[in-house]
Structure 1
């Protein structure tokens, strides 16, 4: 029995939730206390910046630590003889969890690497073509889209999504943008954005793009793992995924998805063969052996908890603080009440406080005064904000502490 198999037994020993309604389970504090007990978390602060990366649960951490020992002991003998099969097993298990084929997935060091490969490598662009992104998109992806002007000679267009946002308004904003920029050939979408946490109606926007002859490259770093829409149903052929956020894998793991038949629409990686093997579009060199070996345990725990249950719990915690502050005139909430647009992440700003320095100062005051840790984000057309991100191990008591901290800094 290898390390992953040993810790998988620990995961299988967790309480069974089969047949439970996710909305009801989201309110079962006893069940979530058992999940929380799997994590060794700091009590120095109320940690509400869980969007940076997701803490490993103890079974994953222990599998990772033991795998590190195994790799170190076996050295090149292990790396060359034993590890390749374990790596492919991890890749196959990830594909199974995502509901796609193994030959459509390759492991990366994170969503940023995957997205940069997809954007930079997209070869169906000619000078004068257009690419399009929005103000909610992640900085590194925006930089990659802008870089296409130098690399491919394209025109880069940016749109600002409306606030307050609603489902039909968001879809219409993309519909109008595709009509306004008819030469668009590549559209960047972010399933769940890292600024205000809006969950885009990706499938509907992808359908609009497809009808207009536009390919979508989807940043699913914050989506897949906490949103229960199957990957194939999103309608995007090119997707970047994080595994160290909502899947709880070791830091430094992500994945790139390319729908079968689309690999040749990407440049091969620096001299790699130009064929249909997705692995020719990435070459990382020596990988983090131990992280890859611990991935099956993270995936097993993810499935044991259930993505629908994760989503219901995270929305329960999100809605707790939003509902408590909704009628506070001193606070501007950057979040929709529509569950179709909702994720674990939401944001706020104090009324009139739109610049980054002011929001960063507010975050520092919340930390010093109340030991509540949130993070300031900028980039929205409407201004900077404070992002709040609970995890599946967060508690209603911690959310109450957040509400009190916001009220205290609002004056």
Structure 2
């Protein structure tokens, strides 16, 4: 069983150390080397060992996706297979069709969130316990940009402290939540400068956008607004790029919110509770009330520290990254039964059909893998 590598709740007696007080704060400006444990290295550099097909061209986007595969999973998914230090793309019929293995564990290790760029040609990746961010080119399978210093935590120039979430925005800038620095950053990869910062290191309280209480999610919405998740008191806020708070709500019945997303219609919010047993909640920010919930206390259907949940387009079903059970599942919206699963429950590995602490995913609505694979038969 993997340990919880997300940020734990901190008692008040430890806040000074956690917020890097005094001399420790000054040292953090220059960076502090981190001891790399065997758990952080995971399985090392691994691969599925498959001969992979050539990817089809990009012909769709999020507004006009390629042809759907239908229920139970309408599109292939790219998965951040964290402790295998790789990204893999899996089709709805559970074939691995694309893979990016770590080129070097010294700077690429522990990928935990992954999302396509708006044009589908790049992938934004965050690495919490490697303290860095990456852009991966999908076609060439290369790292084209890195921000942060591997194995070094801090808050000074180009330093991060447990960055969670990774998105490339329409204007090419990179969005991330820098959890332990209690800030959300928008970084310009062209200049390597911070374009926007919400929150301040050492000031971890809920008063967005001035201060944030341990933010671990920052998700762009269709109109450019950003959903920010804060761990303390399960706050979810919608904030414009200009820094205006549209609304701010407690996620109902959630102890540890992880990476809130808008529902497919953009009107509600879906969020995973990173707990054991875990749960998934959909709520209406207009009222703050739950409209749907998945929760099982034990057994095969129970979740163990799910880090991400999203409503699937077309079907309305829910896909969940169930981190510590080493699986990704699709839950039927009406029956609340698991109708699709990749990974063998509670079993870690890197051969086809297995993962090792999956921690993030995105839908590949950009490439017609269904048509490409059928034409090869």
Which one has a larger percent helix, Structure 1 or Structure 2? 1
Larger Rg: 1
Q: Which has the higher strand share?
A: 2
Report the TM-score, using the length of structure 1 for normalisation.
0.23
